[in-house]
Each structure stands twice: as C-alpha cells, then as structure tokens.
Amino acid sequence: MSDDDLATVPEPPALLEVRGVTRGFYGVRALNGVDLVVKAGQITGLIGPNGAGKTTLFNCISGLVPPNSGRILFNGEDITGWRPDRVTRRGLVRTFQIARGCPRLTVRENLLLYGADQPGEGVVAALLRTQAMRLREQDLQQRAIEIANRLRLTRELDNKAAGLSGGQKKLLEIGRALMAKPKLVLLDEPIAGVNPSLAREIGDRLRAIVADGISLLLIEHQMDMIARLCDHVIVMAEGRHLTEGTFAAVSADAAVQEAYMGRPRWTS
Ligand SMILES: Nc1ncnc2c1ncn2[C@@H]1O[C@H](COP(=O)(O)OP(=O)(O)OP(=O)(O)O)[C@@H](O)[C@H]1O
Ligand SMILES: [Mg+2]
C-alpha cells in the first residue's frame, strides 16, 4: 500500500441509489428524472421547497407508489416497484409526514404491531403455536422495550398512543420504524409541529440511532435541524435533484436560494 492509499479516506458505500425516477399524477410530473445516492452510516438531509417531490420520492422508494420509469437500488439490489412489505423486509422503512400510529392501542401494542414478520397471525398459526414462535414473540417484546427505552418512551409503554404529546407521537412513529430492524429509515418531517426543545431531543435520538449503525434519509423544513444533524444534504426542486453537499455549501448556493425564493418553507 502506498502513502497515497493511506491518505485516502474511504468513501462510505452507497446504500440507496435512485436513477432517473419519474412519477406523474394526472399529467403533472411530480418527479422528473431524480438521480441520487444515499451513503451508509450517516444522516443525509433531503430538502427542497414545498411541492419539490420529496414525499413522492419517499413513496416511490418505499413501494407505496410505483415510479413510471427509472430504477431504485437498495444495498445493490433492484427494488423498483416492490410492494412496501417486501421493501421493509429488506431493511428499508419509512415514516410518514402525518404520524400513522393506532391511537387506541398502547405504545407497546403499536410497537409490536409493526415488528417485522408478525408471529401468531391467523387462526391456524394461533392453534399451532410453536416453541419457535413463542421465542420470536419474546424477542419482539424485548425489542419493543429496548426501543421504548432508547426513545425515552418507557413510562408510556402501557398508555394509549392517543394520550401522547405531539413530540412523543413523532418518537413512536420512529420507534415503529425501528421495530423492523432497518438498515435505512426514511423520515418525512420528523419534527414538524414539535416545540424546539423536544425537536432537539428528537435530533439527539436520531444521532444515537445512527451511532447504532442505522442510516437515515431525512426530509425536514427546519433548517437549523438539517444544519445540526446532517452529514450531507441533497436539494430537490421541481421534481429533480438540484444540488448536494454540506449544509453550508448548499445554503450558500444561488440556485438553491432561487428555488426557495418566495416560498414560505425555509424555517430555522
Ligand atoms: N397522490 C397524488 N395525487 C396528485 N398529485 C400528487 C400526489 N402526490 C403528490 N402530488 C403532487 O406532486 C407534487 C410533489 O408533491 P410532494 O408531496 O412530493 O412534495 P414535497 O416536496 O413533499 O412537498 P412538502 O414540502 O410540501 O411536503 C405536488 O405538486 C403534489 O401536489
Ligand atoms: Mg412532503
């Protein structure tokens, strides 16, 4: 190995690759040929003005809405057009801009509901409960407790999700994603509508999740959060990748400023 090799810092590997993805709704192009790469082991920010196509891109990646054209590769595997449950089983999970938990269930039940490959489903399965299934259930219960702990929701485990604060509901949404043992979590505005001190706490929890080896792709309009948390930032505008780089670089970019011009959603 030469000195040159030693001096080279290895690039994190690509975890997610989006190539030329398009998606239209009733003749309107929401995605116009998106190309981007998300690297493993870091928090990547995905920003852009309202209507830029960020949520639609999450919908295409996670299998909720198939792209009209283009390819999506996760961990080197082509997952284009896969159903959401199949994508989830590969370790790619998303959260929603509006939290989707079941308000009448407890925090624990909400977490268990979203554990990967639910055991004990169906009548036959219930009658034939095997030792393996019982062990798996125990494992899920344990994981729900660990995740609640990690997200500081332990005291809420047996309370109904409906009674949680806005910030706690956001944390539960993140917890449900973690139950699937993800490699990559797509977070759609995880601190929207949350007060600043709770938002900072959610940010700290996200950092801890990345330290555990999970990568994050984060849509957020609160730019102080993007600045503080993201290792790398990708900017979308009008259904396309506009630019990318450090937060300092993209926020100083004239093309980014122009894309946001007259748009209300750049907040700090
Ligand atoms: N299911 C749908 N039916 C019709 N149009 C849609 C649908 N989903 C998205 N769109 C349109 O696609 C465009 C991109 O919307 P999208 O929600 O992806 O933007 P966004 O970047 O997430 O915006 P925001 O920051 O406001 O959440 C918008 O013009 C939107 O109206
Ligand atoms: Mg959106």
Residue 60, pLDDT score? 97
* Predicted local confidence at residue 174, as pLDDT: 93
**Which of 18, 22, 55 gets mutated to test ligand 1 (max ligand atoms within 8 A of its CB)?**
55
Compute the C-alpha angle 85/91/96, nearest 5°. 65
Determine if ligand 1 sits within 6 Å of the CB of residue 30: yes
Asked whether 130 lines ligand 1 (CB < 6 A), one says no
CA-CA distance, 63 to 82, in Å (whole number)? 6
Q: Is 52 helix (H, G, I), strand (E, B) or coil?
A: coil
- E strand or H helix at 132, and its extent? helix 131-150
Structure tokens given for 183:
């490699």
**Partners of 36 in the β-ladder:** 18
Angle at 178 between CA 120 and CA 191, to 5 degrees: 135
98 lines ligand 1 (CB under 6 A): no
- pLDDT the model gives residue 132: 72
CA distance 185 to 15: 11
Nearest ligand, measured from the Cα of 264: 1
How far is the centre of ligand 1, averaged over its atoms, from the C-alpha of 54 (Å)? 8
| 204-229 pLDDT per residue, tens | 999 999 999 999 999 999 999 999 99
Q: Which pLDDT belongs to residue 42? A: 96
Domain boundaries, the chain: 1-91+182-268, 105-175
**Ligand 1: which residue has its CA nearest to atom 3?**
25
Pocket test for ligand 1, best of 56, 61, 62 (most atoms within 8 A of CB): 56
pLDDT of residue 1: 47
Instruction: State in Å: Cα 58 to ligand 2 middle.
Output: 9
Question: By CB neighbour count within 10 A (0-12 exposed, 13-18 middle, 19+ buried), where does 202 fall?
Answer: buried
Whether the CB-CB separation of 140 and 112 falls below 8 Å is answered with yes
- What is the pLDDT at residue 122? 56
Distance of CA 213 to the CA centre of its chain: 14
pLDDT value at position 195?
Answer: 87
- Is the domain defined by 1-91+182-268 classed in CATH 3.40.50.300? yes
Query: pLDDT averaged over consecutive 10-residue blocks of the chain (268 residues)?
Result: 58 89 95 97 96 97 96 96 93 81 89 67 61 80 94 95 91 93 94 88 93 95 94 97 96 92 61
Its pTM stands at 0.88
From first CA to last CA, the distance across the chain in angstroms is: 46
Is residue 53 lining ligand 1, measured as CB closer than 6 Å?
yes
The partner residues of 190 in beta bridges, in order of sequence, read none
